[in-house]
Amino acid sequence: MRPAMIRHRVAVGVAACALAAPLAIGIAPQASALPDPRETPTDPAAPGDTPAISSEETAEPVPTNMPWLNPSLPPEKRAELLVDAMTEGQLLHMVHGQSDLLGTRVSHADGPPSIGYIPPIPELRVPALILSDGPSGLRNKEKATQLPAPITQAASFDPEVARAYGQAIGEDAKDRGQDLIFSPGFNLARNPQAGRTFEYFGEDPLLAGTIAAAHVNGLQSTGIMATLKHFVANNQEQNRTLNSSNVDERTLHEIYEEPFRIAVRDSQPAVVMCAYNRVNHTPACGNPDTLKRDLREWMGFKGFVVTDYPAAWSPTDLKNGLNVELPWQFWTKPKRIREAIAKGEMTWDDIRDRVRETLIQMFRFGLFDHPWDDAQGDRVRPIRPIDPARGNAVAQASVEKGAVLLKNDGMLPLTAPKPGEHRRVLVVGDAAKNTLSGGGSSNGSALISDTIFDALKARYGADTEVVFSSQLNPARIAIQAKKADEVIVVAGVLSTELLDRLTLDVPVAQRNAISIAARNNDHVAVVMQTGGPVVMPWLDDVEAVLNVWYPGQAAGAATARLLFGDVNPSGRLPQTFPADAKEVPASTRNQFPGAHMGFEANYTEGVMMGYRWWGSEAKKPLFPFGHGLSYTTFDYGTPTVEGPGTRAGSVRVSFDVTNTGRREGATVPQVYVSKPASAAVPTPPRELAGFTKISLAPGETRRVSIDIPADRLAVWSETERDRVVTPGHYAFAVADNAEAPAATIGYDIR
């Protein structure tokens, strides 16, 4: 048996601790219930692991009096040993964070800036835990890669895009000395006005959960902990800390918790952030039904739960499933906890359980296996500059794969002038020169600036005169549009954390700019920068609309390549775009108090949200969920279905896909299921059961098979308190979007 070693470079031993000199002890490696984040996942949805620890480190013996430092023990055992060694004060130290928002940094001046941290406990060699945002790139008050709005990942319908996106965040975070990132956010878009739709993954639980799992696997493969947020039913911004989301059990499990269940199952995230809101009147951060019964017991979550910043309401939240209050102590002040224990409201064992859950992840991610720096009283934490090119490539590729071509009457792709041909192009809109991004904790500071205006100018070439006008100058737009061969209007709709959108329209100046351009020129294309649905009463006036979401720091290169067809658009809407802002799901005051400042959001629409609602109401949106055009066309053949016809068996739907156009391109075949009429509860007309994305050469046909695990066909059963497959007749439709007519194939389950 080899002696257990810990890697050390800096002197071992802690002044504050009168512990014996380190001795080598031998403990055989033991199996852990948790996957090792160090393996690079090949399947983007497969759980990954942390990378190897820096080679600059050298092995040191494990001190006998700190057996938790033995890296060959499983994380669970190490955490148990450490918790057993902790004093009450040390246990209480671990259940709340601190923040350097006021200028202090971890335990020492050289620590990296962050959005929060748990300070180290040098006498036990517990390192600091350093936490930052966020979902569209590292946000810790420094510059970092600014990726496009997170919704772009869902719009790619490609888990590989989300994996690379998550990995890019993790790599920047690692360079800047972070341990944990508050990403991904993926609350479902219940109402299109919700302020954070840009940060989330649309309105379908399967799509959102699949994309989140891939993102977590990418992020955690860098050795940084990922955070699923915000748990749960956190679907509006106004009154977000006081609102109660009143939601029935079926809807909670089948819709709002389902993306979390998928992500927990497929990526073993280290952290969940509980939400500001209440769920059925109990705060989400102190709710044993959602945190203990659902998250831990039903979904099998093994990590730790942190509050969304001040989302705790009582010291007993710690008993109900909360592990760490961030960023400061409000409810977890030692005095309050001790009082609650003295009153019998909770026990020291509750605290030990919570601390153990946190420590297991800290051990799993190797945070104790770095050299110790006595002078700083923390682990050695290498910090290096971010390589700007690395993340920028991911930022650009994400836009190229997630931008959605909403309309094209033939104006796109654009062409550059032939040699000697002189052209004049008008670009309208300040967003062409100042890329928009969503506001709040996803709003980072970009490393690179690459605007649409500059990139278009370069791509058109020297023979084209590219003229600019702000949307605020109608006279100039009219004059210049008349003189131009074509007009590109870059329109932008702002959205932010803390506020729900008051309207789904583009701002009035931009609306006017589009109309004026269209009155004076027949060739107008609109590039939309938005974080969510927009109504487009002007749609018939323009030839093309390309939605690039908030395109991040690679806005220019990606948008120019999409407009000119260097890349063929292949994104799809992860969220329905309504035709009329008044005809949207969950829109009454009773359902969505939102801007009306009410405190009760009643989810009376049940499972009929998003495209499920549009389908059940037989209303026509402007663009359905799953919609997206390409510069080529595709044809889907008649599907066949195979499966054992039992409630447990997986189903395979197969069909041919043909690229019927003249360009290479990617398409997203979607399989929707209609569940049997015999289901005990009303079911939506169509629900996404599977999807894939394939790229085909012109004229190429490929057979596609989509496997649908039985679980995808289930509905929530109140009696069995689980997802249950109902026997009966199912129909599968292979469709290009949630509304498209499609050949269906029946399938019976006994």
Residue ranges in contact with ligand BGC by CB under 6 A = 115, 133-134, 182, 185, 229, 308-309, 441, 497
SS3 state of residue 603: coil
Please name which of 577, 530, 573 lies closest in space to residue 550, comparing C-alpha atoms.
530
For ligand BGC, the closer CB: 309 or 636? 309
Provide the minimum distance between the beta carbon of 188 and ligand BGC in the complex, in angstroms, as a whole number.
Answer: 15
Sequence-distant (6+) residues with CB within 8 A of 559 are: 399, 403, 452, 455, 456, 527, 546, 548, 551
For ligand BGC, the closer CB: 190 or 229? 229
For ligand BGC, the closer CB: 114 or 575? 114
Q: Could you give phi then psi for residue 258, rounded to 5 degrees?
A: -60, -45
SS3 state of residue 586: coil
Question: Do residues 552 and 136 touch, judged by C-beta distance below 8 A?
Answer: yes
Cα 152 to Cα 154: distance, rounded to the nearest angstrom: 5
Sequence-distant (6+) residues with CB within 8 A of 486 are: 411, 414, 425, 426, 521, 523, 524, 525
Angle at 398 between CA 393 and CA 400, to 5 degrees: 95
Provide the minimum distance between the beta carbon of 439 and ligand BGC in the complex, in angstroms, as a whole number.
Answer: 11
For ligand BGC, the closer CB: 240 or 686? 240
Q: Is 49 a catalytic residue?
A: no
Provide the minimum distance between the beta carbon of 388 and ligand BGC in the complex, in angstroms, as a whole number.
Answer: 24
First to last CA, the chain: 55
Question: Do residues 207 and 253 touch, judged by C-beta distance below 8 A?
Answer: no
Cα 63 to Cα 12: distance, rounded to the nearest angstrom: 9
Provide the minimum distance between the beta carbon of 325 and ligand BGC in the complex, in angstroms, as a whole number.
Answer: 13
Cα 337 to Cα 152: distance, rounded to the nearest angstrom: 42
Q: Could you give phi then psi for residue 525, rounded to 5 degrees?
A: -115, 140
For ligand BGC, the closer CB: 291 or 738? 291
Please name which of 418, 539, 424 lies closest in space to residue 486, comparing C-alpha atoms.
424
Cα 17 to Cα 37: distance, rounded to the nearest angstrom: 32
For ligand BGC, the closer CB: 82 or 115? 115
Can you read off the two tokens belonging to residue 560?
């120019």
For ligand BGC, the closer CB: 185 or 223? 185
Question: Do residues 512 and 210 touch, judged by C-beta distance below 8 A?
Answer: no
Question: Do residues 204 and 611 touch, judged by C-beta distance below 8 A?
Answer: yes
Can you read off the two tokens belonging to residue 559?
């948008």
Question: Do residues 469 and 426 touch, judged by C-beta distance below 8 A?
Answer: yes
3-state secondary structure 637-689: CCCEEECCCCCCCCEEEEEEEEECCCCCEEECCEEEEECCCCCCCCCCCCEEE
Provide the minimum distance between the beta carbon of 115 and ligand BGC in the complex, in angstroms, as a whole number.
Answer: 5
Torsion sign across C-alpha atoms 495, 500, 536, 480 = negative
Torsion sign across C-alpha atoms 706, 710, 711, 712 = positive
For ligand BGC, the closer CB: 72 or 443? 443
Provide the minimum distance between the beta carbon of 272 and ligand BGC in the complex, in angstroms, as a whole number.
Answer: 12
Can you read off the two tokens belonging to residue 112?
């990296």
Choosing from 158, 308, 317, 450, the catalytic residue is 308
Provide the minimum distance between the beta carbon of 500 and ligand BGC in the complex, in angstroms, as a whole number.
Answer: 14
For ligand BGC, the closer CB: 332 or 443? 443
How many Cα atoms sit within 13 Å of 399 on the Cβ side? 35
Question: What is the rounded (10 degree) CA torsion for 231, 232, 236, 239?
Answer: -80
Pairing label, strands 694-696, 5-8: unpaired
Provide the minimum distance between the beta carbon of 578 and ligand BGC in the complex, in angstroms, as a whole number.
Answer: 26
Sequence-distant (6+) residues with CB within 8 A of 670 are: 626, 688, 690, 691, 734, 735, 736, 737, 738
Q: Which residues of 473-503 are buried (b: 16+ CB within 10 A; e: fewer)?
A: bbebbbbbbeebebbbbbbbbbbbbebbbee
Question: What is the rounded (10 degree) CA torsion for 609, 613, 619, 621?
Answer: 30
Cα 245 to Cα 593: distance, rounded to the nearest angstrom: 10
Question: What is the rounded (10 degree) CA torsion for 73, 76, 78, 81?
Answer: -130
Cα 592 to Cα 245: distance, rounded to the nearest angstrom: 9
For ligand BGC, the closer CB: 182 or 331? 182
Catalytic residues: 308
